[in-house]
Amino acid sequence: MKIVDLIKRDMVVPALQATDKRAILEELAAYMASRHPRIERTALAKVLVEREQLASTAIGEGVAIPHGKLASVGEIVACLGRATAGVEFDSMDGQPTYLFFVLVAPDSSTGAHLKALARISRVFKDPEFRRRLLAAPDGEAMYTVVAEEDAKY
């Protein structure tokens, strides 16, 4: 499974404005809903917030992978967001989170959803990849960094 199979060029937010966990999730949900006709902003925000209440999706080293399931989507939908100032996200390492990779899967998805989470967490473990994403000047450049990294595997 390739990350570029999950994320479209227009699903990259290079400058998230929110400054706290809940607001980041709501901003990402609003962005995804504005670009995907089958995603309802309020429903997605609720799913993402409820998942965060179970345990933080911040995996450390400045990365979080908020995720959830919605009956309205027919395939996995993804979005990459960047908060240049960093946000307190209850990360495992106690550090701010800068990069947010949101995954929304259909209710019926299990295997593909878990494979996608594993793939994303593996790719985001690479410090050079994270550095390049943080240094990218805009969303198009961020997408290019993802595509280049994806091509290595």
CB atoms within 10 A of CB 94: 9
With 0-12 CB in 10 A as exposed, 13-18 as middle and 19+ as buried, what is 86? middle
Q: 14, 28, 57, 67: which one is catalytic? A: 67
113 is catalytic: no
CA pseudo-torsion sign 114, 28, 16, 86: negative
Per-residue DSSP letter, 9: G
User: Tokens 């989470």 sit at which residue?
Assistant: 117
Active-site positions?
67
